[in-house]
Structure 1
């Protein structure tokens, strides 16, 4: 882009911030009317709740702010690109998205969106799309080129289904073609694609790989969502997918992963089903003889998934293990450290002996926000804190 185009994009960024969600809502409505086949790729629940519209609006605003220094966006680009590769976004989708995004800007802003403004934004979108296409092309090639790897989706059969609690099941999945599975990094996830009988289009959800060490299967652990509108896939998996059934799955993806420095101490903090990516991180850290602190928050002892599995690991290996039961009823039969109530700053101060450790957090947005705030209050540096959320990311975080 030339300087004049850059100036136009940056000067109009506040306008797009003001009308961002109106523009993205208009964009998605028009896009799906013209290309309903894309509903096989996009998460319709995130559309209904407005999360996707908000995330896209924030991404567009962040891109506009940094259009003359796009390298600042690289961490966020990689996060989003992992999601895109996992669900099957392809290079040919970008021109379609660009056309309808520009059309939505024009529709919402009317005469205020002059030809010069639209031309500048078209150029900006093209530059940003090229970055995504390039990064995602490399990710597709890596996924397919890995030993046992594949591109897009392939069928897996349910080898075992285990009830972890009243609202959580684990599914042990093996490839139908019986090829060896590629290794993955602890913390990564897969996309599961199913045809829910009540839905016209395919449904895709992303689930962390919750086990580590045996490459003959992948394990995902799925909590039934209370909200029926948001939980159509989890309900389908719980109620209708049994041993011997097949589902489609993409290759592992994601950058919320355990760092490769084997001697570095780690603190793994999870809330509820957020324990799923920290379980493989724990097992890998044990394998590497790291200094480990494992902290888990859960409402009741009955909802504490992997409880027996963790007890067995704790009995065999030296790591610090703490559980907080927010309902106040601790489990008297267990030997790990327990507390009644929620995790507070003083707990983290007591349990996290080394503020120079790397901290990995997964749970609800509110839980992660509270943990991050408390960790910073006890002196943990921002660059030492890593977290994962499975709702669309707020890309304005790059400006922090």
Structure 2
């Protein structure tokens, strides 16, 4: 892109700030109408809720604002790249997206979309697509070269289903070809795709791996969401109706939210609801590690009945000196409990969580992450030591 084109792109920043969401909504409707095969890839619940629209609007705006030096967005682009690789996004699909995005700009802006502006945004998109394709090609290559690794979708069978709470089931997945599977870092996720008859197409979802890495199986622990008759919860309900022996399509492990098993830093884990799944992987990994990093785990959920892995964590807490856990229930049980009532209040346990060189991991709904992140910062924790994983499209930018 030349300097004039970059200025033209930057000139659209005010429009994107005020009308970007309308443009992106139009774009998604146009693309999914003309290329319905993409419904097999896009999370239709996030489409219905508008979360995906908000995420893409924010990404387009950030790119326009940083068009002079897109490298400042590299961490964000790598995070997006991980999601794309987990969904087996191809270079050809970037062409489809680009065609519909540029045509949406023309159709929405009308007379304001002069040829110079359209050419500038075409160049901008092509440059961004080239960056993303390069990032993802390296990730695909790394996955393919990894022992037990693969590219794209691979058939896995449900080997075992375990009820972890009133609403969370764990699914043990083994490869249908009975060959090796790739290892992963504790905290990473896989994508799972299955056909949804009510929608008439497949739907993918990302689920954190909830066990330590091993050569035999992947374990995901899925909350059965409400809303069985609409996209919100339709995949989790479909999974909860699966039986042992059923097959799912699975992508290789991905994600930037993980605890390095080689690191000796103490861990402080904060989870809300089903956000405990990547933390479970971190704790199981730490249990089998030589150094067994000192770990504090603070978990919050509605009540004891929905607290997955409760007994497992209690046993570890009682047996292992490296783990100390705290639980907050909105409603306490009638029986005796060590849980706190209400939602997580870090002030109550600040002496235990303010640890030198600790890494802090937060996972849960967006509002949970915001509150806990701000609490940690308020207690003096360096932002660089706080990592978080948001459910669904990445809308938060706290660091």
Normalised-by-shorter TM-score class: over 0.9
Q: How does 1:80-229 map to 2 (within 5 A)?
A: 80-228=80-228, 229=230
User: Is the counterpart of residue 297 in structure 1 residue 300 in structure 2?
Assistant: yes
Cα deviation, residue 328, structure 1: 3.0
Normalised to the residue count of structure 2, the TM-score between the two structures is 0.95
Report the Cα offset of residue 260 of structure 1: 5.2
Using the TM superposition, name which of 293-302 and 338-347 deviates more.
338-347
CA distance in 2, matches of 1:145, 1:130: 22
For residues 142 and 283 of structure 2, what CA distance do their matches in structure 1 show? 25
* Offset from partner CA, 1:226-279 (integer Å, 9 cap, x none): 23320111111112x111111111110111011355221110110110000011
1:322 matches 2:335: no
Aligned in 2, Cα 1:242/1:97: closer, same or farther, shift over 3 Å?
A: same
- Would the aligned equivalents of 1:301 and 1:330 in 2 still touch at CA under 8 Å? no
For 1:29-52, what per-residue CA distance to the aligned partner results, in whole angstroms no more than 9, with x for missing partners? 111121111111111111111111
Q: How many matched pairs? A: 394
Match of 1:238 in 2: 240
Write the deviation string for residues 44-89 of structure 1: whole angstroms up to 9, x where unpaired.
Answer: 1111111111111110000000111111110000111000000111
Superposed CA offset, 1:94-148 (max 9, x none)? 1111111011111111111111111111111111111100000111111111111
Rounded Cα–Cα distance in structure 2 between residues aligned with 1:90 and 1:33: 20
SS of structure 1 residue aligned to 2:53: helix
1: CA distance, partners of 2:263 / 2:95: 43
Q: Give yes or no for contact 2:304–2:332 (8 Å, CA) kept in 1.
A: no
Distance in structure 2 (CA, Å) of the matches to 1:62 and 1:348: 37
Q: 1:260 to 1:5 in 2, by over 3 A?
A: farther
Q: TM-score, normalised by structure 1?
A: 0.95
Q: Distance in 1 between matches of 2:224 and 2:334?
A: 24
Which sits farther off after the overlay, 77-86 or 2-11? 2-11
User: 1:301–1:331: 8 Å Cα contact kept in structure 2?
Assistant: no
**Is 1:271–1:297's contact at 8 Å kept on the other side of the alignment?**
yes
Q: Which residue of 1 aligns with 2:255?
A: 254
What CA distance in whole angstroms lies between the structure 2 residues aligned with 1:348 and 1:364?
Answer: 22
Query: Residue 227 and residue 55 in structure 1: after superposition, are their counterparts in 2 closer, same or farther (change >3 A)?
Result: same
For 2:294 and 2:117, the matched residues in 1 are separated by: 55
> Displacement, 1:92?
0.8
Give the Cα separation in 2 of the matches to 1:345 and 1:148: 41
RMSD of aligned C-alpha atoms? 1.6
CA contact (8 A) 1:168 1:305 kept: yes
Contact 2:187 2:257 in 1 (8 A): yes
Q: How many angstroms apart in 2 are the aligned matches of 1:30 and 1:353? A: 50
- 3-state DSSP of counterpart to 2:91: coil
Q: Deviations over 1:255-306 (max 9, x none)?
A: 1011355221110110110000011112223323211111111110111100
Aligned-pair distance for 1:331? 5.8
Q: Does 1:62 align with 2:23?
A: no
> What's the offset of the Cα at 1:15?
1.0
| Structure 2: unaligned runs, 5 residues or longer | none
Identify the residue that residue 314 of structure 2 maps to in structure 1. 311
- Shift in alpha-carbon separation, 1:330–1:358, aligned structure 2, 3 A: farther
Task: Give the whole-Å Cα distance in 2 for the aligned partners of 1:118 and 1:328.
Answer: 59
Kept in 1, the 8 Å contact 2:186–2:213? The answer is no
Match of 1:3 in 2: 3
Segments of 5+ residues of structure 1 without an aligned counterpart are none
**Is contact 2:193-2:204 (8 Å) kept?**
yes
Give the secondary-structure state (helix, strand or coil) at the position aligned to 1:98.
helix
